[in-house]
Amino acid sequence: MYDNLPYRPGVGIMLLNASSDVFVGKRIDTTSEAWQMPQGGIDDGEDPLVAAIREMAEEIGTDKAEVIAESSNWYDYDLPEDLITKLWGGKYRGQRQKWFCLRFVGNDSDINITTAHPEFCEWQWVKMQELPNLIVPFKRNLYKALVDEFGHYINL
């Protein structure tokens, strides 16, 4: 029914600390245990890496990170039908995202999720292999693919 809708262009950030744990935030807009990595839309004409750094700063209050890698692919995910009409004005069926793996070069005290438009109510560092178990089911395959693609950057 919604197959004719386009994907929203977006970016995602797998932020690794010095121990190669991954930043995740608990979404503020849901009562479920929905943890995710920072992500967001790409503005018209915006470079994906610029969008990723902007989104990271907007969502976690810091841009203290160095780029390790860019995903070799754009990754798609489809929203469940009941969410399509509730998100992004019903204009998109899901997202097509370019992902970046970054090394956090700041201190935990630099992270501030109480930003101008907060998306997270809690945050934590987790082991990369735990990511697929933390995300909402419709993004699980995406997170598995990201663990496969970026897994070899642990402890570099």
CATH of the domain at 85: 3.90.79.10
pLDDT band, very low/low/confident/very high, at 84 (cuts 50, 70, 90)? confident
Tokens of residue 62, six digits: 């810091």
User: Mean pLDDT across the stretch 136-142?
Assistant: 93
Q: Does residue 1 belong to any structural domain of this protein?
A: no
Work out whether strand 22-27 and strand 35-36 pair parallel, antiparallel, or are unpaired: antiparallel
Q: Does residue 2 belong to any structural domain of this protein?
A: no
pLDDT digits (tens, 9 = 90+) for 33-77: 889 999 999 999 999 999 999 999 999 999 999 999 999 999 999
User: Mean pLDDT across the stretch 81-110?
Assistant: 92
**Half-sphere exposure for 35 (CA within 13 Å, toward CB):** 17
- The dihedrals phi and psi of 4, each to the nearest 5 degrees, come to -80, -10
pLDDT at 90: 85
pLDDT at 29: 82
Distance CA(39)–CA(136), nearest Å, equals 14
pLDDT at 96: 97
Number of domains composing the chain: 1
Q: Which domain holds residue 56?
A: 7-153
Amino acid at 79: L
Q: Does residue 22 belong to any structural domain of this protein?
A: yes
What global pTM score does this model have? 0.94
